[in-house]
Every structure is written in structure tokens, then in C-alpha cells.
Amino acid sequence: QERSICWGIICILLFFFLPEPAQKCKTGPVDLVFLIDSSRSVRPHEFETMRKFMIDIINTLDIGLNATRVGVVQYSSQVRTDESINQIIPLAQGTMTGLAIRYMMNEAFTPEAGDRPKVPNVAVIVTDGRPQDRVAEVAAEAREKGIEIYAVGVARADMTSLRAMASPPFEDHVFLVESFDLIHQFGIQFQDKLCAIDLLIDYCSFGNHSCDHECVSVLNGYRCRCNEGYRLLEDSKTCQDMNMCNTVEHGCEYQCVSTPGSYHCICPEGQLLQDDGKSCGTCKSANIDLVLLIDGSKSVRPQNFELVKKFVNQVVDSLDVSPHGTRVGLVQYSSRVRTEFPLNMYHTADEIKAAVMKVEYMEKGTMTGLALKHMLENSFSEAEGARPLSRSIPRIGLVFTDGRSQDDITEYAKKAKEAGITMYAVGVGKAVEDELREIASEPVEKHFYYTTDFTAISTIAENLKLNVCPEESQGEIEVKDPCACESLVEFQQATMNSLEQVTQKHIL
């Protein structure tokens, strides 16, 4: 006689066979789920052997709502539950074992599906081949939730995958047989395990389990289980909050954001994260990632290329270069593109200036579009030293050229600005104004410069200054006329402040 009672979406199969077996396993409550492989590699007669294997085990158990509950899930490329074991029709597709374990964990062993608190959760996975998806991570997650997993492999099953799924110790939870005809050997051993252990004993009640959160009794003792949002550490007892912001003194002024195994601080809109990585402010003094693209085409000429290198070093002199302040990278281009040094190579102005003077002139063509592509895809990558976008450190690109580009610049000039890079264009001699304007960020007047000959570029370099507060310049490089009225007033105020400080310290 056979009847079924639904356990959530998993059906409990209650079997009463007449005549009664000679000895029935009288155990306490346990929630048992069979996860059976019904892929196309399992032949019909082999599937029937697996069906009988499950019936033989269930026939020895004390089945009931308050005793042992049994669920059956079959899988191939998909996962399906059936009304009873005798009604299972093989799916005959692939072998997505990881998907099936995820389904079992999220659907079978849940309170909604009838899973009972403090009742051992036991899963028996039967498979005949190598999984077509990843199983180690999801199986580890299932074990952390207190599910005791037995992995039974037949014929073509892979021992490495079986061990990745099973609970430790492996010698008690991993079984590999040559054919389905021998699967009953595991059935006998498994029955012995269920029947030999008095499941009425609540091992967690002994009081010495030392579990941080929850203790779950299993067939051979107990396991610790963590609350939602926590993970079980290697000592199998301690639970760690997966949100690092809740477990460390992060010191973030505004908000802490947790990442796997780490965390970082963020600031509200309109403010920038300061050098300490914790505080927020409206000012960010000389803290940028700057990449200079310099034209090394044959039209520049060797003597003028030396002037270009001096121009670069004049720019560097105006910056506060340090690992946590401004970083500088240099790229030279002609018919090809060459990174002279990335953002993370040098950490002082002197190191950068020395490296600049050693740069060798490339000559050949003017592929400005190719250089912009290289800058976007390589120079501003974290691998080459660009700080993460989450740090809100301005990214600035400065293009120096003396002629018309021999390739298209439109695509990557646009993409660079869309990626949040503030672009400056400095042109000399035969440089094309329309191209320079297309490269430059808005407002173009503040990001585009032109001079007729190389001897005048030092004037541009002398006036490139990074303002301290973003509300004044939004992290932009601004050319200031030292003879302008506001510059004279600024100089006068700075002089008066300095004199006052000297007076206070040394005279009064």
C-alpha cells in the first residue's frame, strides 16, 4: 500500500508495505531528501534500479509527520519534483548537479517546505557522471546551513566532484560503485547508519557545542549553523558577519560599504573622500590621477621633443606627487603607442622627472585616436595604478600634439569623457583646432590651449595649476594669468597672511 503527503512543494512519500518488514528502523525525526540524477546517461533499467534502491531504504524507516520525512528531487538540465517515487519519469537531459543542490537547499530544506527546526537535515545525492556546472561552492553553502550530504557515485561519476559535495569525514559520506547493480551496497550501509544511531538523542542539549548561533543535531552528533547574513568559519563554530562594516571599527565619516572580505568608505554627493580614506570634505588638495599623452611624430623634431619633455616636467613640478596624492603616467604616441611609465610606477616628482628625461623620441606618424584608445583602456585601469572610481579621485588626461591626427579621434575622445576623464588638449604649430576642441572637455575654453611654436609651451606649463577646492574648479586644471586683477589681489592677500604669521611667530 502506498500514499503520499505533500511537504511544501516536496512530497513526502509514506510507504506501508504488507507484510511489514521483519525489522523497521525506529529512529527519532529526520528530514531526508534524495537528489537523483536522471540525465540521459542513466539508462532506463539503471533508473529502475535507483528507484528500487530508494524504496528499499524508505521501507526500513519509521515514516510519519512527526518521525522521518522524505522528499525526492530528480535533476538533469532542470530540476523537478514528483508526486511519488513510482510516478517519476526520467528527464533524460544534462547533468546540472550544482543547480539541483541549490534547488534542494532553497526549496526542500526551508520552513515553507516543511523543514523542522532542530531536526537533522540529510541529503543523499546519487549521480552517474561529472557535473556540468560548479558544485563546490553551493555544496559548501548547503553544508554551512547544516545539511549533511552523502554523495553516491556510479560508473562514470568523478571522485573529485563527489568529495566536493559530501560532508566530512569523506570516508563516511562518499561512496563510489562500478554499476547501478551495486548501489544497494550503499543502501545497506546507509540504513545501518540511520538505524544504529539513536536520533532521539539531542546532542545540542548537552550544552558543550560552543556554537555561536545555532546548534543542529545530525546523524553522528551536531553541527553549528549561522544566522542569515553570517558565514561559518573554519573552526565550524564561529559565525562571522558577512557585512564587514558591522565587524570592524571602520571610522567612515559618512557611510561604510562592505565588499567580499573588505570594505571602503563613501561620501555624500557633492563631497569627496579625503586622503585618510574615511573623512569627507569639499576640498581635495592636488589629489588626481594624471596621464599625459605626448606626440612623438617626426614633425615634432628632436630639439622640440626635448622642449616637450621640459613641458611635462614643468607640469609635474606644480603637482603634489605621492602614492596617496597625485599620480602621473606618461604615454608617447606616433604611428603606434607606447606607455613610458604607468600611474603606479613612480611616487615622487623627482623620480618622474628623471624618467621623463630618459624618454626616447619615437618619430613616424600621428595616431592620436589610437593613443586615446590606449589611454582609456589601459592607462586608467587599476592594473596600471588608477585608483578605483569609488574613491572619487579625479582622472585627468592631457593630450599634447603638433599636427593633424592620421586616424579618427571622435569615438575615443567621446568615450574618454563619458568615462569621467577630464580631457585637456594642448596644440602647437600645425595642430588642428577642431580636433583639439573635440578632445577637450566642457567648457572647451578652459580645456583647450594652442600656441604657434614650441618655445611658448613653457608659458602654458607655468600657468597650469590645480585649485584646492572642487567647488572652484571641479578638479580641473586652470590657466591663470598672473597679471590679471584677481591674481594680483590673491597674491597680495597671501603675502599679507605670510607677513602676519612671521610677525606673530618671531617678533611679537
Residue 21 has a pLDDT of 45
- Please list, in sequence order, all residues whose beta carbon lies within 8 angstroms of the beta carbon of residue 32, skipping any fewer than 6 positions away: 61, 68, 69, 70, 71, 122, 123, 124
Answer whether 30-196 and 289-467 agree in fold.
yes
**Which residue from 201, 286, 281 is spatially nearest to 467, judged by alpha carbons?**
286
Task: Give pTM, 2 decimals.
Answer: 0.41
Show Cβ contacts of residue 105 under 8 Å, excluding neighbours closer than 6 positions.
Answer: 138, 141, 142, 145, 147
CATH number, span 201-241: 2.10.25.10
In this predicted structure, what is the pLDDT of residue 472?
39
> Using CA atoms, how far apart are residues 432 and 429, in angstroms rounded to an integer?
9
Residue 476: the pLDDT is: 38
The SS3 assignment for 400 reads: strand
Cα-Cα-Cα-Cα dihedral of 231, 233, 235, 236, to 10°?
Answer: 20
Asked if residue 462 lies in contact with residue 316, where contact means CB atoms within 8 angstroms, the answer is no
Q: Would you list the domain boundaries of the chain?
A: 30-196, 201-241, 253-281, 289-467
Phi, psi of 486 (to 5 degrees): -65, -30
Q: Which fold has domain 289-467?
A: Rossmann fold (3.40.50)
The hierarchical CATH code for the domain 30-196 is: 3.40.50.410
In b/e form, how buried is each residue of 18-37, taking b as 16+ CB within 10 angstroms? eeeeeeebebbbbbbbbbbb
pLDDT score for 488 = 62
Residue with cell 534500479: 49
pLDDT given at position 5: 36
CB 311 within 8 A of CB 400: yes
pLDDT tens, residue order, the chain (508 aa): 333 333 433 444 333 333 344 455 566 678 889 999 999 888 888 899 888 888 888 887 878 888 888 889 999 999 887 767 888 888 888 899 999 999 998 888 887 777 787 788 889 999 988 899 999 999 998 888 888 899 998 888 888 899 999 988 888 888 888 888 888 878 777 777 666 544 445 667 766 678 888 887 766 677 788 888 888 888 888 888 888 888 788 889 889 988 777 888 988 876 777 767 888 765 544 578 999 999 999 999 999 999 999 999 988 887 878 888 889 999 999 999 999 999 999 999 999 999 999 999 998 899 999 999 999 999 999 999 999 988 888 899 999 999 899 999 999 999 999 999 999 999 888 888 899 999 998 888 888 888 887 777 777 766 554 433 433 333 333 444 555 565 565 666 656 665 665 555 455 4
Q: What are 392's three cell numbers?
A: 572619487
